[in-house]
Structure 1
């Protein structure tokens, strides 16, 4: 039997905690270290921080000590307002040290050629080459529902006129106020300008899955057209990050369309509500998280993937689990891959191992 792949988890938030539990259950992976950001978590057992039993691994904020472990892979799951700005320096150090990285933090790196910062991308490529290591970013949307699933479904196509991918989600469980309020505009009047309204932001946010699909299908995107819509809630809504007052934004809809041969041919739409009765005229779902792929062509193909049991039964946790497992299941494949910045086009289907154990 080959030795288990040694693995470090970078953060113990929702996704990181799921990764810790998943890794410790697998005989082909060995958890050897856990990084934490807050000083209060330093020195505590990683299993307990992940909401489980003690596992004998002490959490640390000493990045040098974790790099010195020379693990086979790091599962990078840190979140927060800095995101890429805070993560890229860590990626560089890890890759240069010869440590493979799988990440749910930098979703715009699911397709590295379209990364919004060519300078950072070049630095990452140089670091990966120097350390002979690989980097792979994924998640559920983007990372699967917005791209990989669509490409899988196109294997049934004779002719394609348009590929549309969409997420319809109830996100009242998401606790990060900065992202939800300042980034997306929830809880503010419509004259507030969230980060999403920054010119070019919507196009930048969804360019990676659009270009990934285009590359997979061998077509050229000549333009991306983006739009943002918001709707008010007419009642107070209690959510994980506070209270959304009546008369403020309770639903956000972004749309980005990649133009191919003069028409909008690859479309990403993202609809988030804080309650089911907000924006009733927008597409809805009876589930809390639905990921749709609609392909018009020959044949027309329509696929809806619902995550979680049903309405109000843990769709938020289910989506986080799916996000975490997109990278945990990819670890053996990324370790075996040639060095460099990878996308799902560079890997086989990252099928789970030991899922029935």
Structure 2
């Protein structure tokens, strides 16, 4: 067997912890370092931080020390309200040092040509060239559910009038109050204006998957139009970030439509609830997360992908696991790819390895 690829996991939240465990399971990958933000996590064993057995790898907040380890790839999963403002400087430093990066943090980079900050994108591309390294962002939505699944299903199409991708998710498990309340408006009265309501924000948030699909199908998007809808809950709902009071926002729906030849042709919808019974007239699911592709054309195509167990199980773990594995499974392909900023259009199917290995049996929750 060839020497395992050396991996650093950047942050130990829900996605990062899953990535640590996934790397641990694979003989072709070796965890050599873990970055943490919280001071109380520094020096702790990475395996224990991920909820498992000790791995002999101590967490650190010293980025320079992790770069000095010369890993083949960093799994970047840090999150928070700053998102790209905090992540891009890290990407630049890692890529310049010749370290490949796979990320679930910067969802607008799932299709770099449509990235909202051309300046940051060009800086990253230059860093990738200088370090002969590659960068790839993915996840489940944006990510697989909003690009590769849709494009795969379109291989059955003779004509397409409209292609729509939709996520329906129960997000009561997400603990970051600033993101959920100030960013999305949950737990706020409907006269509160969350970040989502900022003019152009929805268009910016879903621009990348829309343009990725359009490029894959060989069409040009003339404009992206976004809309926001919110519904209140009629009862108090206890969630991970606190209490969503009755009369405040308990469900949020965003919709972004890409126009081709003057009409809506590529649509991304995102429906998030704090409880399944809020906004019952919207598309619903009994699963933690459901991803739909609906193609109006010849033939009509309707496909639903459900992630996780049915009602009452999972608490969002399944969607986080799918998100993490989209980039962990991509590591060998990204390491082998030419230097630069990649999207799923540049990648083969990032098929998992060692998923039937005996060591994984009986270990899952």
TM-score tier, shorter chain, comes to: over 0.9
> Is 1:175 matched with 2:164?
no
Cα RMSD (Å): 0.6
8 A contact 2:72–2:100 mirrored in 1: yes
Return the alpha-carbon distance in structure 1 between the equivalents of residues 79 and 56 of structure 2.
25
1:175 alignment partner, SS class: coil
Return the alpha-carbon distance in structure 1 between the equivalents of residues 276 and 71 of structure 2.
44
8 A contact 2:77–2:103 mirrored in 1: yes
> Is 1:138 matched with 2:138?
yes
Listed as ranges, the gaps of 5+ residues in structure 2 are 358-365
8 A contact 1:184–1:196 mirrored in 2: yes
Give 1:309 deviation, angstroms. 1.7
Return the alpha-carbon distance in structure 2 between the equivalents of residues 162 and 5 of structure 1.
42
Listed as ranges, the gaps of 5+ residues in structure 1 are none
Residue aligning to 1:239: 239
Return the alpha-carbon distance in structure 1 between the equivalents of residues 143 and 335 of structure 2.
19
2:227 alignment partner, SS class: strand
Residue aligning to 2:230: 230
Return the alpha-carbon distance in structure 2 between the equivalents of residues 211 and 135 of structure 1.
18
Residue aligning to 1:354: 354
8 A contact 1:289–1:307 mirrored in 2: yes
Residue aligning to 2:253: 253
Give 1:288 deviation, angstroms. 2.4
Runs in 1 of length 4+ with deviation above 2 angstroms?
none
Return the alpha-carbon distance in structure 1 between the equivalents of residues 130 and 265 of structure 2.
38
Return the alpha-carbon distance in structure 2 between the equivalents of residues 342 and 217 of structure 1.
18
Residue aligning to 1:47: 47
Give 1:286 deviation, angstroms. 2.2
Describe how 1:269-288 pairs up with structure 2 within 5 A. Answer: 269-288=269-288
Residue aligning to 2:78: 78
Return the alpha-carbon distance in structure 1 between the equivalents of residues 63 and 285 of structure 2.
43
Describe how 1:30-45 pairs up with structure 2 within 5 A. Answer: 30-45=30-45
Give 1:315 deviation, angstroms. 5.2
Describe how 1:85-104 pairs up with structure 2 within 5 A. Answer: 85-104=85-104
> Is 1:206 matched with 2:213?
no
CA deviations on 1:161-209 (whole Å, 9 max, x unpaired) are 1100000111111111111101000000001000000000000000000
1:167 alignment partner, SS class: strand
Residue aligning to 1:337: 337
8 A contact 2:173–2:315 mirrored in 1: no
1:275 alignment partner, SS class: coil
Residue aligning to 1:109: 109
User: Normalised by the size of structure 2, how large is the TM-score?
Assistant: 0.97
2:70 alignment partner, SS class: coil
User: Normalised by the size of structure 1, how large is the TM-score?
Assistant: 0.99
Give 1:283 deviation, angstroms. 1.1
Give 1:276 deviation, angstroms. 1.3
Give 1:258 deviation, angstroms. 0.2
